[in-house]
């Protein structure tokens, strides 16, 4: 079983839709979770990070962790065409959460249509 | 704003050639990373460096070496390029190693080995 699994999509939604992007992970000891966004022809950039369980909100974006199910989600409210990108979940493999042992999901390609 | 600059956007090399990929960051970051990104495989860590002249192997170091002689510059070397090294190569830097210290990526070098 891979450490992090992510549905590659692609996902296509109309402008204004609520988007749900998801990853599952295998090791219940993981405590730190990140979402990176990658626009076409660009490198990834950190969007949000969370620690342990619960929700974290930043504007239209909400990151959610369900440790009992080993499931992490990124919700985008009122999606915009500018949100069209590939979204990658990332988890540090070591218990301390160090960023030099990140494992990335394969990424989900999202297109928001005007 | 952090800037990570990769010297070439596109590179075409022949099998057996020695290839140098160069990366420079302008924020005095301690840590630098080389990843490759392939469809269906996602981002995979090749090497990282936590200080000048210091390096650690990532998940897929075979066929690669690195050099960090100055803090701002991190080079990836393909000693004898092979067709299975055709990929998008992404360099990144970070100020610290905590999970809340984001990786700042360059825009990538697309290498084709023929």
Question: What is the residue-averaged pLDDT of chain B?
Answer: 94
Bond from prior residue into B71 cis (ω within 30 degrees of 0): no
Instruction: Determine the average pLDDT of the residues in A14-42.
Output: 94
Contact call for B107 and A49, based on CB within 8 A: no
Q: Does residue B62 contact residue B79 with C-beta atoms inside 8 Å?
A: no
Q: Tell me, what DSSP letter sits at residue A10?
A: -
Question: What is the residue-averaged pLDDT of chain A?
Answer: 91
* The pLDDT value given to residue A1: 63
Residue of B nearest to A4 (CA): B42
The answer, yes or no, to whether residue B47 has pLDDT greater than 90, is: yes
- Interface of chain A toward chain B, CB-CB under 8 angstroms: 8, 32, 34, 36, 41-46, 49, 51, 88, 92, 97-102, 104-107
CA distance B6 to B16: 22
A93 compared with A110, residue with greater pLDDT: A110
A–B CB contacts, 8 A cutoff, strictly below: 64
The domains located in chain B, with CATH, are: 4-96+104-113 (2.60.40.10)
Tens of pLDDT, residue by residue over B71-110, are: 999 999 999 999 999 999 999 999 988 877 889 999 999 9
Instruction: Determine the average pLDDT of the residues in A77-81.
Output: 98
Contacts of A36 in chain B (CB under 8 A): 103
Q: Which sign, positive or negative, has the C-alpha torsion B95, A43, A51, A101?
A: negative
Contact call for A45 and B102, based on CB within 8 A: yes
- Which fold is adopted by the domain A4-113? Immunoglobulin-like (2.60.40)
* The pLDDT value given to residue A81: 98
Q: Does residue A11 contact residue A108 with C-beta atoms inside 8 Å?
A: yes
Tens of pLDDT, residue by residue over A35-68, are: 999 999 999 999 998 887 788 999 999 999 998 8
Distance from CA of A88 to the nearest CA of B (A): 9
What does the domain layout of chain A look like in residue ranges?
A: 4-113
Q: Residue A44: which of B48, B101, B105 has the nearest Cβ?
A: B105
Residue of A nearest to B42 (CA): A106
The answer, yes or no, to whether residue A95 has pLDDT greater than 80, is: no
B34/A contact by beta carbon, under 8 A:
no
* The pLDDT value given to residue A112: 98
B108/A contact by beta carbon, under 8 A:
yes
The answer, yes or no, to whether residue A96 has pLDDT greater than 70, is: no
CA distances from B40 to A21, A27, A108, B9, B68 (A): 17, 22, 11, 21, 30
């Amino acid at each position: 079983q891979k450490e992090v699994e992510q549905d590659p999509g692609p996902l296509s939604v109309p402008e204004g839709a609520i988007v749900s992007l998801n990853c599952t992970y295998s090791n219940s000891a993981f405590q730190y979770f990140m979402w990176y966004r990658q626009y076409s022809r660009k490198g990834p950039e950190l969007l949000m990070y969370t620690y342990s369980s619960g929700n974290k909100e930043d504007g239209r974006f909400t990151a959610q962790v369900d440790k009992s199910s080993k499931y992490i989600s990124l919700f985008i409210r009122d999606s915009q065409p500018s949100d069209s990108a590939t979204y990658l979940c990332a988890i540090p493999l070591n218990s301390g959460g160090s960023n030099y042992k990140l494992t990335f999901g394969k990424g989900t390609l999202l297109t928001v249509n005007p | 704003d952090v800037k990570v600059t990769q010297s070439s956007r596109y590179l075409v090399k022949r099998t057996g050639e020695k290839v140098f990929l160069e990366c420079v960051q302008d924020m005095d970051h301690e840590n630098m990373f080389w990843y490759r990104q392939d469809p269906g495989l996602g981002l995979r860590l090749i090497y990282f460096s936590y200080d000048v002249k210091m390096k650690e192997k990532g998940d897929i170091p075979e066929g690669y070496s690195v050099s960090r002689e100055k803090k701002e510059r991190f080079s990836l070397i393909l000693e004898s390029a092979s067709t299975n090294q055709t990929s998008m190569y992404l360099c990144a830097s970070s100020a610290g190693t905590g999970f809340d210290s984001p990786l700042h990526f360059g825009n990538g070098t697309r290498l084709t080995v023929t």
